[in-house]
Chains A and B, each alone.
Chain A
Amino acid sequence: MQTITIIPQVGIPDHLIGEVKSKLAYVDEAIIKAQIDESGREIKLELRHPMEETSLKHLEEKVQQVVSTMTQGAIQPKIQVLEDNMAVLTPYCNDPTEELIQQCELHGETAGVFTLGPMLTRLIEFFEENFITLAASFEAKPYRFPTLIPARYLERVNYFRAFPHSLTFATHLREDLDAIDHFAQHAACDESGHLNQPPESFAKIQTLLSPAVCYHLYFSLADKPLPGGKMVATAVGNCFRYEAINLTSLERLWNFTMREIIFIGDKDFVLENREISRQRMARAFKDIGLAYRVETANDPFFIGEFRKQAAFQSAFQLKYEIRARLPFKESTLAVGSYNYHQDFFGRHLNITLPDGSPVHTGCTAFGLERMAYAFLCQYGTDFKQWPDVVREYVYG
């Protein structure tokens, strides 16, 4: 292992420190930990193995490129807090991860991939019931979507350019008897868990693991008028977002589950229902006793032109995040969001209103594992400390 210090040529503003740090994870495979000091003037990187001088120089150039691209012309977001329930008293202030592992409630398979035990599963079902109740209040139609999504779908909505770093690809062996036989005879994993087969054994990539739930609905409606001019739908699904070394505990999962309530119609219909869903969930979170706030936010676009969209999202309040308190680290975790996409999907996928104009879309989305994790960070794994409504559901 090797630790290096890099002084960025441009100071990193306070509001960008977290975002730059998370992007450093994608700079080089050798990086296993990235830290930025509070002043934004010093970056420390832990490397998997010692590097030669030329490689180190190249690494530093890449780091400087990330910092300068992200900071030059960066626009400080104006964060508006819509709900603040951070002062709710909660009894626990440790990270429950180790306890959950010891109780066989949590088993890590690989970075960001976990199996969950009965208590965590019931806890997630409790939150799910709240979200399904919310969906029912809008008479949302239930849908089931696949885990795979065609590459051409994501291409059509510019996902490759906006979030290339977080994509997860799916492939299979080529339809070739020799390749299949060779795989069957020789396939094995090395000590790092990497499969030893050559890339030529695998078919070209046509599908990915889906990064979001609502895209599937929009594609099912593409290239035609929306019947009735409005709809509300709901679905739960597996989502995949690769986050490299940022994949830690239940806070950041590569494979997670998301419940979405999706609104499609004209602008007023979508914005009104997004707001109603926020107000209804505020009451539900109060009953649960969750310490959280809701504030304006933006998606984690990759460095590049799409970062401008982050400033746009923030300025127009297109995204509100539900950020639950993590008392053990005096921090918060996004456990859900209320999103308005304007007519982005309507335009790109040619979904139209009765007057021929593109539909507007929005969704209310909840990360189920994060929801359970945030709750346990606030209330611990001892159910005697839990609010009655949660304990009674989970343990009867």
Chain B
Amino acid sequence: MDINIPLIEQVQAALAEALQTPIDEISPELALGDLPQWDSMGHMEVMMVLEQKFGIEINADTISALISVPAICDYIEKK
């Protein structure tokens, strides 16, 4: 995590990587299901990238809670 880059941009970059999608398709409000790539399989890729980049533990609670860019940002900020 780079403190010089706004968190939302880091999250957008992480999602673009996980979903193998150009970053301009990752809007600040993007949520699970909004892109064909962000389906159940894509969501688990998102979770793994979030684990690597932000140290988020993957468990049933985080899987079901981190379902949008704002939700992910909120979670990381509170962490």
Report if A and B associate in a common complex. yes
Residues of A whose CB lies within 8 Å of any CB of B are: 73, 75-78, 305-306, 308-309, 311-316, 342-344, 347
Asked whether, in the complex, the Cβ of B44 is within 8 Å of the Cβ of A308, the reply is yes
Instruction: Name the one of A76, A77, A311, A343 contacting B44, with C-beta atoms under 8 angstroms.
Output: A311
Output the nearest chain B residue to A158 by Cβ-Cβ distance: B41
Query: Which of A313, A315, A344 has the most chain B CB within a 10 Å cutoff?
Result: A315
B59 partner residues in chain A, CB cutoff 8 A: 75-76, 78
Q: Is B58 a contact of A78 with CB atoms below 8 Å? A: no
Scoring B residues 51 to 72 as 1 if CB is less than 8 Å from chain A, else 0, what string do you get?
A: 0000000111101100000000
B residues less than 8 Å from A73 (CB atoms): 48, 58
Question: Which B residues are closer than 8 A to A by beta carbons?
Answer: 33, 36, 39-41, 43-44, 48, 58-61, 63-64
- Our pick among A309, A314, A343, A347 for the contact of B41 (Cβ within 8 Å) is A309
Offer 7 A-B interface pairs, CB within 8 angstroms, sorted by A. Answer: A76-B59, A308-B44, A309-B40, A312-B40, A313-B40, A315-B64, A342-B33
By the criterion CB–CB under 8 Å, are B63 and A75 in contact? yes
Which residues on the B side are within 8 Å of A311 (C-beta)? 44, 58, 60, 63
Per DSSP, chain B at the interface is helix
The CA-CA distance from A343 to B58 in the complex, in Å, is 24
- A344-B39 in contact (CB<8A): yes
Contact B41 A316 (CB under 8 A): no
B44: chain A residues at CB < 8 Å are: 308-309, 311-312
Is there an interface contact between A77 and B60, defined as CB atoms closer than 8 Å? yes
CB nearest neighbor in A for B36: A347
How many A-B contacts at CB < 8 Å in the complex? Answer: 44
**CB contact under 8 A between A78 and B39, given known A311-B44, A312-B44, A343-B33:** no
Give the distance in Å from the alpha carbon of A73 to the alpha carbon of B41 in the complex: 15
Chain A neighbourhood of B40, CB < 8 A: 308-309, 312-313, 342, 344
Point out the residues of chain B lying under 8 angstroms from A344, CB to CB. 39-40
List, in ascending order, chain B residues with CB within 8 A of A78's CB.
59-61
In the bound complex, how far is the Cα of B41 from the Cα of A343, in angstroms?
Answer: 13
User: What is the distance, in angstroms, from A316's C-beta to the closest C-beta of chain B?
Assistant: 6
Q: Find out whether the CB atom of A75 lies under 8 angstroms from the CB atom of B41.
A: no
**CB-nearest residue of chain B to A305:** B41
User: Which residues of A sit under 8 angstroms from B39, Cβ to Cβ?
Assistant: 344, 347
Query: Which chain B residue shows the least CB distance to A316?
Result: B64
Q: List residues of chain B with CB within 8 A of the CB of A313.
A: 40
Q: Which residue of chain A has the shortest Cβ distance to B43 in the bound complex?
A: A312
The distance in angstroms between the C-alpha atoms of A316 and B61, with both chains bound, is 9
In the complex, the answer to whether B63 meets A315 with C-beta atoms within 8 Å is yes
